[in-house]
Amino acid sequence: MPLLANDPHRAIAMPSLRYMVHLSAPGWHVAGGGEPAIPGVSIGHNDYGAWGLTVFSIDSEDLMVYELNPENHNQYRYQNQWEDMRLIYDTIKIKHMPDTVVLHRYTRHGPVTFTDAKNHRAYAVRCAWLEKGCAPYLASLRMNTATSWEEFRDACSYSYLPGENMIWADRNGTIGWQVVGIAPIRKNWDGLLPVPGDGRYEWEGYLPVKQLPNIVNPPHGFWVTANENLVTADYPHLYAVGRQWADSSRGNRIREVLHSKPKFTVADMMALQTDYTSLPAKNLTALLKNLKHNHPVTEKARKMLVEWNGHLGPHSVEAGIYMMWERTLTERAHRIFVPPAAQGVIRSIPVRKVIEWIKANRKELGNRDTFLMGTLHEACRRMQKKFGPDMNQWQYGQENYHHVLIRHPLYAAVNDSLRATLQCGPAPRGGSGTTPGVTGNADNQTHGATFRIVADVADWDNCWFTNAPGQSGDPQSNYFKNLFIPWATDHYFRMYFSKNNIVQRAAEKKRLVPAEKRLIQNSQTN
């Protein structure tokens, strides 16, 4: 039977972003997680199948440009007539200052975000996600009761926000992928550039969700989504698809592993979710093979990287050297390829793109070998300055290098005695932004997968989860940050589904009684 593994990436926060539940009621038996304010289980399983999600880029907005009436900037041209904007006055109260009155302007398409008075132009954002029925994740309530792939897709057809890759695996052996989200139909433009708001560029409804990309039971036996572009060039509704995708390195590494053997275990899937092998690292270090540097430290680092397997382990010296080299190399490429005026907007260049330029011998980089060895030498110089001359101390997952430190939003607002309870870490981390176990490229990990599920559809008692830093939002609770260390060391816990197993292992039990019922009981007692 299939296995399903899901670990969507979001900002790392305290309290934890998601909350695990097991809901049992007549016609309702589901376990998993979701964001506390959102009903249902957005990632989890019921008695029939398991599901998960990752972000999918849908182009659900357009920037509309209007010609304003020179005599009245609260009117805009629409179908050769002046049309009045809708005006809403609002009062903003500011402590110790007079109230401020602001004016909000709306066209038929949406809120005006900028007015160019000199050129008699206004700009408004048209947002599909302001439509009715776009309550985030509300379709989870339908997904939670799906008993088959067909019922799951029917439930997905109500999921308008956010844009997601929905995945499914069930006890009948079916696996499937269905993109969800609200996608405007554009007949005469592709949505990439601003368009006049005078009536010539109007949406013609919304694309039915089931017409968004999907697949069932792919021939190779698995499906991978890692935020990269999975839309084929012949897809007929490309106007609905966004253009911002993640680097394909993570997805390619996962596919590489899944192609390596015919069958996998739950343990294999957990190892794959936390895999720290970087394909860009393997590609880059291979370019050093036939080179040589006259500085002994840099030459020793080159030899170490050539023999290295690309695994960014937290205690690896090679990983420490490589990541400093990658930083140095991409920073230099950024200065070369991005004009100074744009460097504040385009703040980084993906290492994948830099590798493409190096392999193509782009003239802007100068001599390729000189560029590679010069950046490696600079990286070694940085490591010496940071950790000293002993290369054994150049390990990747150190507190002042690659680590995770989570602080509660109120951390700085409380006294010293309380701050310790509102902090997790620092703890060493491996990985990067290009590994399946995503930890980012910055010194402190600020985003990644703090919620993970590996579901065995053959045995619902054999489903494994993580949810860092803990279940509770109460700093006084034993469950506020008890999951942080297991998560930081890539461990999971089993989330039982059968009642007997749950009763036998329960740590505590609480019974919640509605206030109205208590009042009735008290009245009868009196």
Q: Which of 238, 272, 306 is the last residue of a domain?
A: 272
Say whether both 55 and 76 belong to one domain: no
Say whether both 156 and 52 belong to one domain: yes
pLDDT higher than threshold 70 for residue 225: yes
518 in any annotated domain: no
> Is the omega angle on the peptide bond into residue 426 within 30 degrees of 0, that is, cis?
yes
Residue 200: Cβ within 10 Å count? 10
Phi, psi (degrees; rounded to nearest 5) at 333: -65, -35
Residue 440: Cβ within 10 Å count? 18
Report the pLDDT averaged over residues 301-322.
98
CA distance 173 to 471: 32
Say whether both 80 and 153 belong to one domain: no
pLDDT higher than threshold 60 for residue 525: no
Q: Which phi-psi region, left, alpha or beta, contains residue 110 (left: φ > 0; alpha: ψ -120 to 50)?
A: left
CA distance 4 to 345: 38
Q: Residue 516 has what pLDDT?
A: 77
If pLDDT is split at 50, 70 and 90, which confidence band does 515 have?
confident
Residue with tokens 């490309």: 238
Say whether both 250 and 307 belong to one domain: no
Q: What is the pLDDT of residues 168-180, one digit of tens each?
A: 999 999 999 999 9
Percentages helix, strand, coil for the chain (3-state, rounded to 5) are 30, 25, 45
Q: Which of 272, 300, 320 is the last residue of a domain?
A: 272
Report the pLDDT averaged over residues 134-138.
94
Q: Residue 522 has what pLDDT?
A: 61
Say whether both 197 and 231 belong to one domain: yes
- The number of distinct structural domains making up the chain is 4
For position 329, which CATH number holds? 1.10.1400.10
Q: Residue 417 has what pLDDT?
A: 87
Nearest of 149, 165, 245 to residue 212 by alpha carbon: 165
Torsional sign, CA 316, 319, 325, 327: negative
Say whether both 155 and 255 belong to one domain: yes
Q: Residue 514 has what pLDDT?
A: 86
Nearest of 230, 210, 204 to residue 139 by alpha carbon: 210
CA distance 156 to 181: 9
If pLDDT is split at 50, 70 and 90, which confidence band does 36 have?
confident
Nearest of 329, 313, 342, 519 to residue 429 by alpha carbon: 313
The per-residue pLDDT of the chain, averaged, comes to 95
Residue with tokens 């038929």: 108
Report the pLDDT averaged over residues 1-12.
96
Q: Residue 98 has what pLDDT?
A: 96
Per the CB < 8 A criterion, the answer to whether 472 and 15 are in contact is yes
Residue 368 sits in which domain range? 279-393
Q: Full-prediction pTM beyond 0.85?
A: yes
3-class DSSP assignment, residue 467? strand
Q: 414: exposed, middle or buried (C-beta count within 10 Å: 0-12, 13-18, 19+)?
A: middle
If pLDDT is split at 50, 70 and 90, which confidence band does 29 have?
very high
Please state the separation of Cα 309 from the chain's center in Å.
27
Q: What is the pLDDT of residues 402-441, one digit of tens each?
A: 999 999 999 999 999 899 999 999 999 999 999 999 999 9
Say whether both 73 and 215 belong to one domain: no
pLDDT higher than threshold 60 for residue 159: yes
Per the CB < 8 A criterion, the answer to whether 234 and 101 are in contact is no
For position 49, which CATH number holds? 3.60.20.10
User: What radius of gyration do the chain's Cα atoms show?
Assistant: 27
Say whether both 212 and 155 belong to one domain: yes
Say whether both 84 and 143 belong to one domain: no
Q: Residue 262 has what pLDDT?
A: 94
Say whether both 355 and 473 belong to one domain: no
Q: Which of 111, 130, 149 is the last residue of a domain?
A: 130
pLDDT higher than threshold 90 for residue 518: no
Per the CB < 8 A criterion, the answer to whether 58 and 243 are in contact is no
**Helix 296-307 and helix 279-286, axial crossing angle in degrees, nearest 10:** 130
If pLDDT is split at 50, 70 and 90, which confidence band does 298 have?
very high
400 in any annotated domain: no
Say whether both 42 and 162 belong to one domain: yes
Q: Residue 39 has what pLDDT?
A: 87
Per the CB < 8 A criterion, the answer to whether 33 and 39 are in contact is no
**Helix 368-387 and helix 317-337, axial crossing angle in degrees, nearest 10:** 120
For position 105, which CATH number holds? 2.30.120.10
pLDDT above 70: percentage of residues in the chain: 98
Structure tokens at 311: 């695994």
Say whether both 169 and 116 belong to one domain: no
